[in-house]
Chains A and B, each alone.
Chain A
Amino acid sequence: MTNSRISRRDVLVGSSALAIGATFSTRVLSAAPPATAVTPQLIEAAKKEGKAVWYTSIDLPIAEKVGKAFEAKYPGIAVRVERSGAERVFQRLGQEYASNIHACDVVNSSDASHSIVWKKANLLEAFVPEDVAKFYPAEHKDPDGTFASFRVSLCIIAYNTDLVKKEDAPKSFADLLDPKWKNKLVKAHPSYSGTIMTATFQMARDLGWGYFEQLAKQNVMQVQSSADPPKRLSIGERAVMADGNEYNIFEMGEKGGPVAPVYATEGSPLIVGPTSVFKQAPNPNAAKLFTAFCFTPECQQLIIDQGGLRSVHPQAKDKPGRTPFKDVKVMKDDPAGVEASSDEIKQKYAKIFKV
């Protein structure tokens, strides 16, 4: 615990500038490690380990589907999904590492700033799967090979189509402040969810904290995970979600659930979820094999089709019927910015929303 706190403070004091610098400049300076191919030796070694432990914040059913797809492809290697909110995962990993517990093989967070912290603390293995090396755009992979964007999504507004007519639905974040939405909103929590942490950063930057202060007066139902507002929406517990996962809304809507997305006119916060292998992974080979699998077109297509997520793998195809990325106005992501202000965001948020 103490360790992780110190490392976080170190980063805070020393190097948000340095971290940004690293992202943009080291591409020239440092050679990324060569791509690692999936060799029979790697598969054999992974089978000997027999399991991989995946800490992630993706909605549990989707995470388990990825795990099962991997198990089907590589029989004999079980994936155990440890799913919690990204901020919770971050705290747990910090606490575990401070006590010398190295249980995590692969991590996937919806708060991209976590990768910066872990990389600074020298916890991440430089491991570049072939797909990442060949196909992934430079802005979606670490020049030193410690992480790459496993998933991309948006944090959006959505409404229950049984309770709200399309023409009455909010069009923007500002619309949510209308008194008619009092008692009808649900939103998730930035101290739990990395998606909401990232979104809160972008919205506070672009809209100002005043937006949240007014939103708090709407008597919002406060849940934890960004996967929960879509679920509350679909059961009709609240009419509109003020924030939450776009991917759950896609997935539910396509199954006939009464939910529809809204892309706010101010822009929707962009959520990038990087995946990394830990240096001290207890199952290092299974960790690498699983991570390589995560970035294959096969797995990327799975998280698109069944999960509603978006991919930056050029071979993965958008699912028809979903608003394409290029048609959505997106807020700019800034992991280093989140990294520098996450503690402050949590404090301000707790003050405004009382929990």
Chain B
Amino acid sequence: MTIVIPAAPAPPPRKYGIDFTKPVLYGFAVILCVLILLPLSWLFLYSLTDAKGALTLANFYRLFTESSFYDPLVTTFIIATSSAVICCAVAAPMGWLVARTDLPFSGVIRALVTASFVTPPFLGAIAWEVLAAPNSGLLNKIFRSVTGADQDVHLFNIYSIEGIIFVISCYTFPYVFVLVANSLDRTPGELEDASSILGGGRWYTARRVTIPLVLPALLAGALVAFLQAMTLFGSPAILALPAGFHTMTTKIWSLFQYPPKPELAAAASLPLLILTVFLLRAEHMILGRRGYSVVGGKYGQPRLIPLHGMRWAAFLICVLVLTLPVFLPYAALLNAAFSPVATTFVTFKNATMHNIYFVLFELSAASLALKNTVILGTATATIGTTIAVVIAYVTARQAVTGWRVLGFLATAPIAIPGIVLGVGLFLSYTRPPFVLYGTLWILLIAFVTIALPSAYQQLQAAFRTIHPELEDASRILGATRLRSLWEITAPLLRTGVIATWCFIFVGVMRELSAAIILFTSETKVISVLIYDLNESGDLGAIAVIGIGMLLITFAVVTAVNRIPGFGNVRFRT
């Protein structure tokens, strides 16, 4: 018997397997380090040098003494704070209604939130320009024709700080909604049952049990909304510049215009970076405490609170709110696509196919931009998902020493606003040995880096749902780590992986803030093309491209929705 055992095939491959795993994982760690540390190092270095390369603090001095720099900083802070507050005020009740009450058609509400989530914020901003520009805006026109008010009178002015806050909130509140709704979905019903059994009424239970449990998620949502609003480039560039003021992101971008001042751009990027890191630490502390709410075995389905007569009223209010980010802007885009002038109402008489013809047959930059976007979307989604799967596996199973570092590195890019990453990558890859500027590679690096944190978190969540016992069984029966991964874990993980892939793909279509710094004429993407068209005021063409972009996005999202089990994973950011 003892002679037979060494001949058994099990031990050697096992040893081989472990040896093979580690280099792969360390390889990934190195890649992540390069991805993140290289641009950040250049950013720091540049912020501390002058145009000739000598060390100086002058950039920071200018940043905090010249009003053209600190005014945008203050404006950004106002916008981000207000947006975060509005997002919470809207998203929290809506998330609660959808997750915890017998709201009719709650699936429709979730779908509409998804629609506003996948709408590129810059497209929403342009659509709202068409709707609420003070004089030509469709809503203001309706208002004037209904009330008979004078031409000078307007109801809305989108070119204002309030307008920007509104538009940013429209496309940021889904982040809060998802965190709140997911948290409520996961909160065990037993806790509420306990409260009820002990005599607490429904509202008492909601107030004393449910809301405290969901509060950490709400605070985390507020921080995410704040960060989103702070780091967005497209919406402020479209709405703030016409009104005559800058935000931090548009200011950084303007420092890249001729004559470029990368040192100042780098210095101006750092406050965004530092604030983001600080806020994420705060979020981590808050979320860290949330642990107690989800610990438990198999929970009972949370009980739905009956709304009685308020059911339909609540549904109507939700739909009305969602009119703002979804129905109205989409209607405005459709109108603009078929109208001879973007802000004229389409009638049977004036409807035109001119814009569609222009985009399809005359706009010579469109096909290259579409090709680049599809290539980048596919490549980013594939590479990003692969990296995220490996790292999520390592951290979920604690497979190698140092797994914490890998997890941290994969999450770290979340602290780097897109435009800051763009500046950092530009500084890193326009010089030897890595001259990547002008190729799709630099955009690929940017997009993978931006996509990694949420992809990683989604897949980590997916791994948690697969019990390690299954893998352990496979390992005990002699399979190597890689083999059990391939034969046991991978099939179980498939839906999660596909969902993440699509999530990244959609994210690439939305990305503007890094692309606007990194593109060249040969590597233009759709989002940049739309931004270019906006600068020359070609709203009809934007409407057509935007609708095309949304159709692609919805096709991808719908395809994923058909796959069972996706619903929960989709939004975990």
Residues of A near any B CB (own CB < 8 A): 1, 5, 8, 53, 55, 59-61, 64-65, 67-68, 78-85, 87-88, 90-92, 94-96, 98-101, 103-104, 163, 191-192, 219-225, 227-228, 231-232, 234-238, 343, 350-351, 353-355
Closest 10 CB pairs of A and B: A228-B537, A91-B258, A101-B438, A231-B537, A237-B136, A225-B536, A224-B535, A235-B136, A64-B362, A82-B521
* Contact, CB under 8 Å: B520 / A92: yes
Instruction: Say if the beta carbon of B242 comes within 8 Å of chain A.
Output: yes
CB distance from A151 to the nearest CB of B (A): 16
Total A-B residue contacts, Cβ distance less than 8 Å: 138
CB distance from A298 to the nearest CB of B (A): 19
Instruction: Say if the beta carbon of B148 comes within 8 Å of chain A.
Output: no
Measured in the bound complex, the distance between the Cα atoms of B536 and A81 in whole Å is 14
* Contact, CB under 8 Å: A94 / B136: no
Q: Residues of A contacting B68 with CB < 8 Å?
A: 350-351, 354
Among B134, B240, B241, B256, the residue within 8 A (CB) of A224 is B241
CB distance from B344 to the nearest CB of A (A): 8
Among A5, A65, A90, A224, the residue within 8 A (CB) of B536 is A224
Measured in the bound complex, the distance between the Cα atoms of B535 and A81 in whole Å is 16
* Contact, CB under 8 Å: B520 / A101: yes
Q: Residues of A contacting B364 with CB < 8 Å?
A: 64, 67, 78-81
CB distance from B30 to the nearest CB of A (A): 26
Measured in the bound complex, the distance between the Cα atoms of B361 and A63 in whole Å is 13
CB distance from A246 to the nearest CB of B (A): 16
Among B246, B344, B365, the residue within 8 A (CB) of A81 is B365
Which residue on chain A has the smallest CB distance to residue B129? A237
* Contact, CB under 8 Å: A96 / B520: yes
**30 A-B residue contacts at CB 8 Å?**
A5-B259, A8-B259, A59-B536, A81-B365, A83-B532, A84-B535, A85-B535, A85-B536, A87-B257, A87-B258, A91-B256, A91-B260, A92-B521, A101-B438, A101-B520, A103-B520, A103-B521, A104-B521, A163-B151, A221-B159, A224-B536, A225-B536, A231-B537, A231-B539, A235-B343, A236-B135, A237-B133, A238-B135, A354-B245, A355-B241
Which residue on chain B has the smallest CB distance to residue A5? B259
Other A-B pairs beyond A99-B438, A224-B536, A237-B343, 8, CB < 8 Å: A1-B262, A60-B363, A96-B438, A96-B521, A98-B430, A225-B537, A232-B537, A350-B254
* Contact, CB under 8 Å: B437 / A353: no
Chain B residues bordering chain A, tally (CB within 8 A): 47
Q: Residues of B contacting A84 with CB < 8 Å?
A: 532, 535
Q: Residues of B contacting A225 with CB < 8 Å?
A: 535-537
* Contact, CB under 8 Å: A236 / B136: yes
Measured in the bound complex, the distance between the Cα atoms of B432 and A317 in whole Å is 53
Central interface residue in A78, A85, A101, by most chain B CB within 10 Å: A101
Q: Residues of B contacting A61 with CB < 8 Å?
A: 358, 362, 538
Q: Residues of A contacting B159 with CB < 8 Å?
A: 221
Q: Residues of B contacting A99 with CB < 8 Å?
A: 430, 435, 437-438
Residues of B near any A CB (own CB < 8 A): 68, 71, 133-136, 151, 159, 240-246, 254, 256-260, 262, 341-344, 358, 362-365, 368, 430, 435, 437-438, 520-522, 532-533, 535-539, 541
Q: Residues of A contacting B256 with CB < 8 Å?
A: 91
Central interface residue in B242, B343, B537, by most chain A CB within 10 Å: B537
Among A68, A82, A354, the residue within 8 A (CB) of B365 is A82
Q: Residues of A contacting B538 with CB < 8 Å?
A: 60-61, 231
Q: Residues of B contacting A220 with CB < 8 Å?
A: 244
Q: Residues of A contacting B135 with CB < 8 Å?
A: 236-238
Measured in the bound complex, the distance between the Cα atoms of B344 and A178 in whole Å is 30
Measured in the bound complex, the distance between the Cα atoms of B371 and A80 in whole Å is 14
Measured in the bound complex, the distance between the Cα atoms of B58 and A38 in whole Å is 56
CB distance from B174 to the nearest CB of A (A): 30
Measured in the bound complex, the distance between the Cα atoms of B134 and A237 in whole Å is 7
* Contact, CB under 8 Å: A53 / B521: yes
Q: Residues of A contacting B151 with CB < 8 Å?
A: 163
CB distance from A60 to the nearest CB of B (A): 6
Q: Residues of B contacting A78 with CB < 8 Å?
A: 364
CB distance from B545 to the nearest CB of A (A): 13
CB distance from B253 to the nearest CB of A (A): 11
Which residue on chain B has the smallest CB distance to residue A221? B242
CB distance from A225 to the nearest CB of B (A): 4
Measured in the bound complex, the distance between the Cα atoms of B362 and A246 in whole Å is 23
Q: Residues of B contacting A231 with CB < 8 Å?
A: 537-539
Contact residues of A: prevailing secondary structure: mixed
Measured in the bound complex, the distance between the Cα atoms of B520 and A85 in whole Å is 15
Q: Residues of B contacting A90 with CB < 8 Å?
A: 258
CB distance from B332 to the nearest CB of A (A): 13
CB distance from B338 to the nearest CB of A (A): 15
Q: Residues of B contacting A351 with CB < 8 Å?
A: 68
Measured in the bound complex, the distance between the Cα atoms of B134 and A52 in whole Å is 42
Central interface residue in B256, B262, B364, B437, by most chain A CB within 10 Å: B364
Measured in the bound complex, the distance between the Cα atoms of B151 and A8 in whole Å is 47
Central interface residue in A55, A87, A99, A222, by most chain B CB within 10 Å: A99
CB distance from B350 to the nearest CB of A (A): 12
* Contact, CB under 8 Å: B257 / A101: no
Q: Residues of A contacting B242 with CB < 8 Å?
A: 221-223
* Contact, CB under 8 Å: B536 / A1: no
| CB contact under 8 A between A355 and B245, given known A80-B368, A191-B254, A221-B159 | yes
Measured in the bound complex, the distance between the Cα atoms of B538 and A224 in whole Å is 12
Measured in the bound complex, the distance between the Cα atoms of B438 and A343 in whole Å is 26
CB distance from B54 to the nearest CB of A (A): 15
Measured in the bound complex, the distance between the Cα atoms of B241 and A221 in whole Å is 9
Q: Residues of B contacting A5 with CB < 8 Å?
A: 259-260
* Contact, CB under 8 Å: A353 / B244: yes
Q: Residues of A contacting B246 with CB < 8 Å?
A: 354-355
Which residue on chain A has the smallest CB distance to residue B157? A183
Measured in the bound complex, the distance between the Cα atoms of B217 and A298 in whole Å is 66
Measured in the bound complex, the distance between the Cα atoms of B134 and A219 in whole Å is 13
Measured in the bound complex, the distance between the Cα atoms of B530 and A89 in whole Å is 16
Measured in the bound complex, the distance between the Cα atoms of B363 and A67 in whole Å is 10
Measured in the bound complex, the distance between the Cα atoms of B154 and A238 in whole Å is 13
* Contact, CB under 8 Å: A60 / B533: yes
| CB contact under 8 A between A103 and B522, given known A8-B259, A163-B151 | yes
Q: Residues of A contacting B521 with CB < 8 Å?
A: 53, 55, 82, 92, 96, 103-104
CB distance from B565 to the nearest CB of A (A): 44
Measured in the bound complex, the distance between the Cα atoms of B136 and A225 in whole Å is 19
Q: Residues of B contacting A350 with CB < 8 Å?
A: 68, 254
Central interface residue in B135, B358, B533, B539, by most chain A CB within 10 Å: B135
Measured in the bound complex, the distance between the Cα atoms of B257 and A90 in whole Å is 10
CB distance from A234 to the nearest CB of B (A): 7
Measured in the bound complex, the distance between the Cα atoms of B367 and A80 in whole Å is 10
CB distance from A29 to the nearest CB of B (A): 32
| CB contact under 8 A between A64 and B536, given known A98-B430, A235-B343 | no
Central interface residue in B133, B533, B535, by most chain A CB within 10 Å: B535
CB distance from B390 to the nearest CB of A (A): 32
Measured in the bound complex, the distance between the Cα atoms of B240 and A224 in whole Å is 12
Q: Residues of B contacting A60 with CB < 8 Å?
A: 363, 533, 536, 538, 541
Measured in the bound complex, the distance between the Cα atoms of B496 and A170 in whole Å is 64
CB distance from A123 to the nearest CB of B (A): 15
CB distance from A209 to the nearest CB of B (A): 17
Q: Residues of A contacting B368 with CB < 8 Å?
A: 80
Measured in the bound complex, the distance between the Cα atoms of B368 and A51 in whole Å is 13
Measured in the bound complex, the distance between the Cα atoms of B535 and A84 in whole Å is 8
Q: Residues of B contacting A92 with CB < 8 Å?
A: 520-521
Q: Residues of B contacting A191 with CB < 8 Å?
A: 254, 257-258
Which residue on chain A has the smallest CB distance to residue B535? A224
* Contact, CB under 8 Å: A228 / B536: yes
Q: Residues of A contacting B260 with CB < 8 Å?
A: 1, 5, 91, 95
